[in-house]
Structure 1
Amino acid sequence: MNKLTIGIISALALAGTMPAKAQFKLVNPVPQNIQSTGFAQLPQSVSIKTSNNRDNSFAVATLKNGMKVESNAKFTITLGIKGDKCVKAYAKHLPQKAEGYWLNISDKGAVIIGNDEEGLFYGVQTLL
């Protein structure tokens, strides 16, 4: 094994032992505010709920590429941007700046609402 390989393996081992909050530094752009009441693993499969006009967005495609999506999965991820019906109840939490997003994860599902398409994409990236 060369020094580069050993360095990469060491870095990966160290990343696996970091607390969850510290791992947010690996997300780019870095979230501006994080509130946590615990830590849970995401399930093996998820269903996606979104407004019809979001079904083919880049953020939805990214989520489908990063997770196993099944229509009958019990864990539902709701995706939308400001003004979409499916996330209207959460609009009060949304940061009022370009590329902003709000992400909430519970035992039953997750909600990602973006101020715009870029914000929705960043929220999906943070979840993944």
Structure 2
Amino acid sequence: MATPAFEDIADTFAFLDDWEDRYRHVIELGKAMPPFDDAFRVPATKVDGCASQVWILPRIEGQGPAARFDFAGDSDAMIVRGLIAVLHALYSGLTLAEVGQVDAAAELGRLGLDQHLSSQRSNGLRAMVERIRRVAAEAAA
């Protein structure tokens, strides 16, 4: 299951042959994200398990499993900010129930990220996915 926004990223990645071009595209996705208010850079929004500083602020519209999931996020590292943008494309607009059904490893694997990120970045990406899934599950309950 992937959103149209994520499918657009996957299509672009399929078009880009070189990983360097893909890397630049991820950074550009991060640069295009809306600014993240400094007031939200607090321990409650910080994602543990990332080598870089990462903040994710969930925004949920509605109640229960049918509520819609969205989030804002930021990082002090450009590539990680881009990874947040990729995750935003993967999850934003899904219901809370759908968030739990996304096979993030498989979807991100379609982009080849699993092969080109350092182990620290991969661990941080997993930590962000786990945070998103946990927040959605808690909000759905």
Normalization by structure 2: what TM-score? 0.27
Structure showing greater Rg: 1
* Structure having the larger proportion of residues in strand: 1
| Structure with more contact order per residue of length (Cα contacts < 8 Å, sep ≥ 6) | 2
